[in-house]
């Protein structure tokens, strides 16, 4: 396994990306007996010897799969230079040390289901466009959704903010006022759902992701996390292999 040294140190449980980069730049890390301060240095986990405080570092081989009910106001990054709240603030240090990272992103104003893992292969497949993983959202609009507009979004249309035509989606009305809508998409362009409605004259008052592939948010409280059950991990992996 060849990775950048900061990623390697994270996988060894030394902390967040920012923390391990501080260790590197301060000269506390040795690679094959020599102090290394270059963040772009590549480490071969099978042949190179990396030490911190005189101890040889080994990557953590336990895979973790987490679900987080992301609150509004948090950004989906590992850290933020502006000091804003990030989703990793809601995750115990144990998981951060093991290299757990978010799968995909939810924008700052979107809440709901966010999956996290240190299983790089699974994360790649879940976010890769070729695997067409379904994402389910509940949308609250500022005015009733017209049927003609529902059909436009369902069929897919060109959204100029993301400079592409959206793929077909499932759009269903959840109650009589037509203010609440369930949307299922198989792609994840930046702010795609918000822009899709905005271009048709609607403001999205609330956006919440409730499903990712076969995994549902359920009754997990806002801001809380839990480890996925073994059965949930299995059906998640099966869903990817069958797509």
User: Is 107 in the active site?
Assistant: yes
SS3 18: helix
Q: Which secondary-structure segment (H or E) carries 202?
A: none
Whole-number Å distance between alpha carbons of 144 and 204: 11
Sheet holding 55-56, edge to edge: 34-35, 29-31, 50-52, 55-56
Q: In Å, how far are 12, 32, 54, 136, 170 from 176, measured between CA atoms?
A: 53, 67, 66, 20, 18
Of 107, 109, 119, 142, which is the active-site residue?
107
Tokens 């009910």 locate to 69
Q: How long a stretch of residues is the chain? A: 243
Query: Based on C-alpha coordinates, what's the Rg of the chain?
Result: 21
Catalytically active residues are 107
């Amino acid at each position: 396994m060849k990775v950048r040294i900061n990623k390697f140190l994270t996988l060894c449980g030394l902390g967040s990306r920012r923390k391990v980069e501080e260790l590197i730049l301060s000269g506390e890390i040795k690679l094959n007996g020599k102090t290394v301060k270059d963040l772009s240095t590549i480490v071969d986990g099978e042949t190179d010897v990396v030490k911190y405080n005189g101890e040889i570092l080994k990557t953590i081989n336990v895979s973790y799969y987490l679900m987080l009910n992301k609150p509004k106001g948090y950004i989906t990054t590992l850290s933020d230079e502006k000091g804003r709240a990030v989703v990793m603030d809601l995750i115990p240090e144990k998981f951060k040390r093991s290299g757990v990272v978010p799968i995909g992103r939810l924008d700052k104003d979107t809440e709901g289901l966010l999956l996290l893992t240190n299983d790089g292969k699974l994360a790649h497949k879940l976010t890769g466009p070729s695997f067409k993983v379904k994402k389910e959202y509940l949308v609250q609009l500022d005015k009733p959704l017209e049927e003609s507009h529902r059909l436009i979004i369902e069929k897919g249309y060109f959204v100029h903010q993301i400079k592409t035509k959206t793929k077909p989606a499932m759009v269903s009305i959840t109650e009589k006022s037509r203010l609440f809508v369930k949307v299922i998409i198989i792609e994840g362009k930046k702010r795609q759902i918000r822009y899709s409605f905005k271009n048709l004259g609607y403001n999205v008052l609330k956006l919440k992701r409730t499903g990712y592939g076969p995994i549902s948010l359920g009754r997990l409280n806002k801001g809380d996390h839990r480890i996925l059950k073994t059965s949930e991990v299995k059906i998640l992996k099966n869903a990817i292999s069958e797509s």
